[in-house]
Amino acid sequence: MASTEIPDVSPTPAKGISNGRLSAADLAVLIVYLILILAVGLWSMWKTKRSTVNGYFLAGKNMSWWPVGASLFASNVGSGHFIGLAGSAAATGIGPTAYEWNGMLMVLLLGWLFLPIYIASGVTTMPEYLQKRFGGKRIQIFLSILYLFIYIFTKISVDMYAGAVFIQQALGWNIYLAVILLLAITALYTVAGGLAAVIYTDAAQTVIMLIGALTLMGFSFVEVGGWQAIFDGYSKAIPSIRVPNSTCGIPSEDAFHVFQDPVTSEFPWPGVVLGMSMPSIWYWCSDQVIVQRSLAAKNLLHAKGGSLLASYLKVLPFFMMVLPGMISRILFPDEVGCADPEVCKEICGNPLGCSDIAYAKLVMELLPSGLRGLMMAVMIAALMSSLTSIFNSSSTLFTMDLWRYFRRGAPEWELMIVGRVFVLVLVVVSVLWIPLVQSSQGGQLFIYLQSISTYLQPPISVVFMAGCFWRRTNEKGAFWGLVLGLLVGIVRMILDFIYPVPQCYETDTRPDIIKYVHYLYFSIILSLLTLIVVVSVSLATEKPTEEQVSRLTWFTRFDPVKSTEADKEDGTLSIANGLEKEKSRGNVTEPTNGSSTRHAETPSRLKSALLWLCGMEQNPERQQPPPAPEAAVCSLEEEPCLRHVVNANLVVCLSVAVFLFAYWA
């Protein structure tokens, strides 16, 4: 791996550009930010119940629409967005914005089509939904493991690397030292506080991100000379050192179009229209990280309100990240747009390209003292909000779907401990994956992220859509569609690592299946293949039972609630059973005469403080069994007046998304 030490090779700053060093004022702003977030995290830990499964993993199902929406946005827009989206915009133009505006539509699909089904089914995790819908355990176990791998490949390691790139640019630290620092900051309230702490801190981080990013956008526009200057300057942002007789360093002709050339561009328009939607449906409608936030809402209307807020906020990355990334290339063409491998290696340590430093370069060279500290806080906020969300959801998946499967009688305190310890294991594995992230996809972090997504996520999207909206889908069809689709996707992913995209001065010697089939086109092919397998196998085998359909599809979501023996056999009541065993052993006491009986031995103050920090208070009232599954099912009823309000906002939001695509097409 190339050295991560960055020599000071910055050009003479343009007029108004600062010297690119953190001052005492910057550090003061950063410290105030960290204190603020820690205070919010501790407040949320104090306010919420964290010693139960429902309290720790679903925030007690008591969240209002605004923290849900803010958390959806903050979980989506991590440091990988700031670094990767701005970097891809610097390299290719506004094309990557299509992912953001596509997300506007998909998060609305979540609120109006998928969430009513999930709420009616009363599930905590997405693999748990498929287990209820299809029966058996193999899909649930298979998908839980797959989700964890996807989080490592496309979420955790990408966000850690992106945050480290920013700190590396700001302070000149080694990239792994920066990663360890970031993980230490995020660990406290994530492991201790549960989903409630994550959502409330996400809401605070969202405000900080918006203020800081929009401030940098204003400075960027002033420095470059306004809106028209971006159009005029981007096409001329060519580095002074280029490989002769090549296209290296020359901006694309369709840089200001969302729908680009179907053959030669990074974002071919047929792939944007069709291929982009399948991984996007997985991300917004069946990804544990996103759906878990919506399931924490107090009712369906608040969940829909959260989706609307997130959708409106998704307009902003175009102004917060894409345009600043393009401006960075205009202001620093020799560094951000470097086209010679040796020059790139000197500038950012990556011979494949330095477009990923675009955002950090703007912050460190453009902003005055104090505001750089604010943007440092913004980047750390983006990283922390994304990582904490992923860590909490990953521990939910592992604990509720995997650990509880192998330990059916596990008491609640054991599940709490396992969920926290698993986060630490996940972090170590993700750090080891970072070198591959750094070397993939020509140095464009955002392109790496999206290409891996199109290889792994479309089969999952097809299975969820079939399960939710086609009653005839059965377990065999879903399982074999998932397995065969993923095998094909993994083969393509491996081929991409074996045959990386050649540099602009190299001859493309890759196999035709890789050279001519763009990853967005591959997403369409993979989705159709999976759908064919799911439909064919389902029709050739037995119909699903009534228990596998009732309250588990769009057409049966209003069915009356029934308690089945299958629920008990599948372990949905295993926590209660485990607590009964603990009571029989004398480890958990029953309340007497309306008051709780205390343990004979009172723990020391230090032990009590540690137990509180981890949400593991020795309070018998909090160790009562969770409600039966039917009691946990939320009502799908909506207050008529508020329903009209959210539906009117739905029409407005859809109109905005269509207008944006049409205007920039």
Q: What is the DSSP letter of 274?
A: I
pLDDT at 515 > cutoff 80:
yes
What is residue 266's predicted lDDT score, i.e. its pLDDT? 82
What is residue 581's predicted lDDT score, i.e. its pLDDT? 44
pLDDT at 40 > cutoff 80:
no
- Look at residue 7 and give its three-state secondary structure: coil
- C-alpha to C-alpha distance for 604 and 598, rounded to whole angstroms: 14
- C-alpha to C-alpha distance for 644 and 283, rounded to whole angstroms: 27
What is residue 427's predicted lDDT score, i.e. its pLDDT? 73
Q: What is the pLDDT of residues 422-441, one digit of tens each?
A: 877 877 776 776 676 666 54
Please say whether the dihedral angle defined by the alpha carbons of residues 185, 190, 196 and 202, taken in this order, is positive or negative: positive
Whether residue 148 contacts residue 390, with contact meaning beta carbons closer than 8 Å, is answered with: no
The pLDDT > 70 percentage for the chain reads 76
Q: What is the DSSP letter of 270?
A: H
What is residue 341's predicted lDDT score, i.e. its pLDDT? 83
Of the candidates 185, 161, 174, 197, the residue with the CA atom closest to the CA atom of residue 381:
185
What is residue 609's predicted lDDT score, i.e. its pLDDT? 55
- Look at residue 260 and give its three-state secondary structure: strand
What is residue 554's predicted lDDT score, i.e. its pLDDT? 96
pLDDT at 132 > cutoff 80:
yes
Residue type, 483: V
What is residue 217's predicted lDDT score, i.e. its pLDDT? 93
Which of 45-54, 184-193, 377-386, 496-505 is least confident?
A: 45-54
More confident residue, 362 or 179: 362
The confidence band for 528, taking pLDDT boundaries of 50, 70 and 90, is very high
Q: How do the domains of the chain map onto residue ranges?
A: 24-241+255-562+631-664
For the residues 556-583, what does the mean pLDDT come to? 55
What is residue 383's predicted lDDT score, i.e. its pLDDT? 73
Q: Considering the chain, what is the average pLDDT of its residues?
A: 79
What is residue 502's predicted lDDT score, i.e. its pLDDT? 80
What is residue 647's predicted lDDT score, i.e. its pLDDT? 96
Which of 76-80, 403-407, 631-635 is least confident?
A: 631-635
- C-alpha to C-alpha distance for 523 and 530, rounded to whole angstroms: 11
pTM: 0.80
Whether residue 347 contacts residue 354, with contact meaning beta carbons closer than 8 Å, is answered with: yes
Who contacts 344 (Cβ-Cβ below 8 Å, separation ≥6)? 338, 350, 351, 352, 353, 354, 443
- C-alpha to C-alpha distance for 486 and 482, rounded to whole angstroms: 6
Q: What is the pLDDT of residues 372-382, one digit of tens each?
A: 888 877 777 77
pLDDT at 236 > cutoff 80:
yes
pLDDT at 175 > cutoff 70:
no
Q: What is the pLDDT of residues 646-655, one digit of tens each?
A: 999 999 999 9
The confidence band for 632, taking pLDDT boundaries of 50, 70 and 90, is very low
pLDDT at 151 > cutoff 70:
yes
Number of Cβ atoms within 10 Å of the Cβ of 368 = 13
For the residues 540-560, what does the mean pLDDT come to? 93
Instruction: Please state which CATH number belongs to domain 24-241+255-562+631-664.
Output: 1.20.1730.10
Tokens (6 digits) for 340:
């010679």
- C-alpha to C-alpha distance for 258 and 254, rounded to whole angstroms: 8
Of the candidates 108, 441, 399, the residue with the CA atom closest to the CA atom of residue 280:
108
What is residue 327's predicted lDDT score, i.e. its pLDDT? 95
Which of 102-106, 155-159, 257-261 is least confident?
A: 155-159
What is residue 216's predicted lDDT score, i.e. its pLDDT? 92
Which of 126-140, 306-320, 325-339, 390-404 is least confident?
A: 390-404
The confidence band for 633, taking pLDDT boundaries of 50, 70 and 90, is very low
- C-alpha to C-alpha distance for 174 and 146, rounded to whole angstroms: 31
pLDDT at 161 > cutoff 80:
no
Which of 22-31, 120-129, 355-364, 475-484 is least confident?
A: 22-31
What is residue 430's predicted lDDT score, i.e. its pLDDT? 67
Q: What is the pLDDT of residues 48-88, one digit of tens each?
A: 554 555 555 555 577 889 989 998 998 888 777 888 899 88
